[in-house]
Every structure is written in C-alpha cells, then in structure tokens.
Amino acid sequence: MFVNLLGLLPISLVLQGVYGLQITTTTRQSINGIGASGAWWVNDVALFPTEVRQNVSELLLNQSHGAGLTDYRYNLGGGGVGVGTLDRAPETPYVSDGVYNWSADAAGTFFLKEAARHGVPIITLFVNSAPTTMTNNSENCGGTLITERIPAYAQYLTDVVSYWASQGVEITHVSPMNEPDNNFDDGDPTTLCGQEGMQVVPGQRAELVMTLAATLKAAGLSTVVIADESSSTGTYIADAPDWLNETVGKSLGANAHHQYGFASASRQQQVFEEGRNLSGGVPTWFTEICCYSAVDESEADDPLATIGWGEQYDPTMISGLRMANLIYESFTYAEDEHWDWWTALSNGVGSCTPNNSSCWDDIVADGWDDGIIYYDPNYSDTHYYDLRLTKRFSVLKHFTKGAPVGSVRRAVTPSTNTSEANWRVLAFDYPARSKAHESYCAPYGKCHQPIYSVVAMNAQWNASTIILTGDDAFKLTQPTKAYRTSVTEDYQEVDVPLLNEDGTVEIEAPEMSIYTIFFG
C-alpha cells in the first residue's frame, strides 16, 4: 500500500500481470546521506589543469547539476610515514601536540572546502592513521594506537574540526578509526605499506569514542562520532560485543560498518540487530564498499549474481546495477540510514591506455571497480586529463536525488512472482518541513502536496513494465518528474508516465535500467 500523507489513506499497489508490489504504511529508517570519499585521488587531481579540478568539484558536489553527493568523506592524513604509494600518503596538519600547519594537504582540503561551498549536508572526516607520535611504531601504517595517547589524539581531531569550523566548513561527523582491524602491514619489515592504516584493538575503541565525543562537546562543537568502520560485517559482529554498549552508545552518532565480506541478507540483518541492541538504539551506517566481480564467471553479465572481492574495471550498467543492488540490500536488510561508496575517483583502469584507446568504455579484467569517475594513471606522461564517468556515477545520482537527507523509507512488499525477481524497488517519503521536502520543493516554490519518490531498477537484459494501481479510497497522484539511467542513458529526464483514467500509472522500463520517479 502507498500512503497519502495528508489523510493517511492507504493506496493498494497491484501491478497487474507484470510486476506486483505493495508500498506499505510501515515507516522504516530515515536517510542521512549518500556519498563517497576524497581518498586518495586528490593528490593526482591537484596536478591536473585548474579547469579539470573545478569540473571534478561540480560533477561530484554540485547539488543541482552534479551527482549531488549528500556526504563527502574527507580523509585526514597522518603524514604517510612508512607508505610507499604517493597518492595514498596524505599530508597532515599535525606538527606536534597543539601545533599545526594548516596549509598542509592543500590537495585534499581544496575539495573539503568545495564540499562546504556546494552545501553538501553531511561532511565526514575519517582517519586511517593517527600522527606518528601516537602509534607504537612511529609510522602511519603497521602499528597500533598508543592507549596513553588517546586523549592527545582526541584533542588533535577536535582541533582540526574547530579550525575548519572557523573557516566556514562544518564537519558533521568524525570517524577516528577507519578499518581498525587492519594496520595494512604486509608482514615484510623491509617493504613499505601500500596505504596508511592503524590498528585500534577492540579494548581501545570504547575509550576512544567516549574521549573524542567528550572533547568535541567541551569545544562547543556539534560534530558527532561514528565508529568503528570495521572492514566487513563479520568483523563488526565479532568485535562489537567487546567495545559497544549503551554507555558508549551515548557518545556515538552511528554504528558504522564496511561490507567487504559481501555478506548475505541474514548477515546484514544481524548487523542491524546487534548494532542497535548493544548501543541502545544507535542507527547503523554503511560507509564503504567497492571492488567486486561475479563469484561464478558464467554469471559475469548478471547484475544480480553473487559477487565477491575481485579485480575488474567495469564502467557499464552491469556494475552500475550491482551498486544499486548493494544499496537496496543495505537499506532493506541492515536498514542502514546512510550509504557510502568507497572513493569518488580512481585511476584503476588496469592495462587500459585511455589516451589512445576506447578500452575505458569496456570491461577490463585487471582494473578495479573502486571509483565512480576515472582518469588516466599515466596523465603525467600523456597529459591526457579527460574524465570517464561510469554508470555507477549516474546510478548513485538516482539515490542522492531520490533519497535525500531527511527522507523516510517505506517498507515495500515485493512480488511473489519469481519470474520477475530481477526487479528491485524502494520508496521514500519526504515529510513536510523536512530537509528532503525543502530540497525537492526549492525549485518549484511552496509545495502543498505530499512528496514521495520511487526508485525502481529493472536488473535484467529484458524490457519490463510495472503498473501502479490505486484503490477506491485514494488515487495515485500524477508523477511530476522522471529520470532514467540505462545502457544508452545517463540520469536523463524522460517523459513522465501519465496517470490513466482508471488511476493507474504504467512504467515501461528498457533492459538494464533504473528509474527515479517523483510524485507531488
């Protein structure tokens, strides 16, 4: 059933003979951001022509014309000591306790400031490693946070947030330990690490969360802490009982987890239950994923195939709809309130040479699906600065627009017709006076009707149709806007489905496509 928010009258949605679903009166979670990170591409893009760097800002952060990310994750660097990969060794403003060089990391802070300029509603600061005076090996990888230095570390993070607040940049959330289960030491003391990383053992995590939350509050900041950003749902579930409880929950804004185990529906549901139960009801956030391929190679062209960690550069709708399905699972199984892709830009095109080949329009086996926009890794030699927007870029836009900050997910009962199991449908209400409602209404002036959206993906190599039907008590309203991404389209505005005389709305979806339809 759909809900008329004015009168709370149900609308039965019977999708006759094609695809059936019910959007129920049951309210699920609020949505609080959909985004991607600024690691580690910013060091490369800083060397690009100014107009390209500015174009990247517009593509990612512009709330009207770009992807409209509603969360931008700024990577606060530790200084890169011990890291052998230049772009994964971000500078740090830390000089010594209480002493800072605020001009450090100009490459990263450019986009942090751009996120604020564009009005991105959620800005998350996340850390892979503390400065070297706070790790037990005096490096930014391979070590562990020193327990006695937790208060100094909390003060450092608070000072950074305070500085940026003074510059007009509001950092809304801080993650002090990104993947604390992994210090990214390859086990060979004679080699450098591939990236920054710092272990924070479960016994340290409660103290870190509570100390940082108290230090932020003492500084008069509204910034909240998210934790613990474990690498996978399995790690999160295993470690959470050792550090998370209702006392810690009072200092925690979100139970943040990654999904590199590509967990099943039941395992994701366990995160929802365990995280909230242990913390006293703190919501869960999904804050990182990337880099997947079909487990069974015979299902390589199936966007709903079982996927696992693996190499592959795929800019096509196959990977785009795999991303969409991950978002669908996160919202429906774990009931996460927030969803982040790993990184906004990548040069992981594998053996492709973009400057003289069309290969970056195709699937490349030895690349990586870790970005939504790609650039040439050999730009310094080729001077080729073109950008490749993948289908993941356009697909993510369906969710930043269809599920803005403040929207509320409504539970959807899917069809029992197994022949149509390739559909995934989500629905979002924009409550009156919410940020989501204001965001939608802004271009049109005052909105007097309830606002809602439907995001529907046809994840199969066949065209398909859905028919939405209202009951006698209340009829569906006329859709106002419709956008589609498909094999041949990229978040393109399409003809709005007409409300038929019998109260139905028919949506004809081409193969491998995703729609966002706005009502109001």
CATH number at residue 339: 3.20.20.80
Same domain as 315, residue 258: yes
pLDDT at 502: 73
Element (H, E) at 220: none
20 and 141 assigned to the same domain: no
- Who wins on pLDDT, 188 or 440? 188
What backbone phi and psi angles, to 5 degrees, belong to 454? -125, 130
Per DSSP, the three-state class of 518 is strand
Quickly list DSSP for 329-352: HIIIII--S-EEEEESEE---TT-
| Residue 236 placed within a domain | yes
Whole domain around residue 143: which residue ranges?
A: 32-402
Same-domain check for residues 11 and 120: no
* The two structure tokens encoding residue 418: 């197994």
In this prediction, residue 18 has a pLDDT band, given cuts at 50, 70 and 90, of: low
User: Which among 368, 402, 436 is the end of a domain?
Assistant: 402
Based on the domain organization, do 455 and 347 belong to the same domain? no
Whether residue 494 is found in the same domain as residue 367: no
Residues 245 and 380 placed together within one structural domain of the fold: yes
Give the H or E element holding residue 252: none
Residues 391 and 489 in one domain: no
Q: Is the pLDDT of residue 283 over 70?
A: yes
Give the per-residue pLDDT at 433.
60
pLDDT band at 498 (very low <50, low <70, confident <90, very high): confident
Q: Do 430 and 377 share a structural domain?
A: no
E strand or H helix at 206: helix 202-218
Whether 177 and 248 share a structural domain: yes
pLDDT in tens, 333-351: 999 999 999 999 999 999 9
Query: Is 225 part of any domain?
Result: yes
**Which one, of 39, 301, 58, lies nearest residue 194 by Cα?**
39
pLDDT of residue 15: 37
In a domain, 415, yes or no: no
Q: Same domain for 36 and 99?
A: yes
The token pair that represents 507 in the structure block: 């949506």
Tell me the pLDDT of the chain averaged across its residues: 90
Is 407 among the domain residues? no
CATH value at residue 493: 2.60.40.1180
Let me know whether 38 and 154 are in one domain.
yes
Both tokens assigned to 356: 């003289």
Per-residue pLDDT tens over the stretch 413-450: 766 665 567 889 898 988 766 677 677 776 666 665 55
In a domain, 338, yes or no: yes
Q: Could you give the number of structural domains in the chain?
A: 2
45 and 188 share one domain: yes
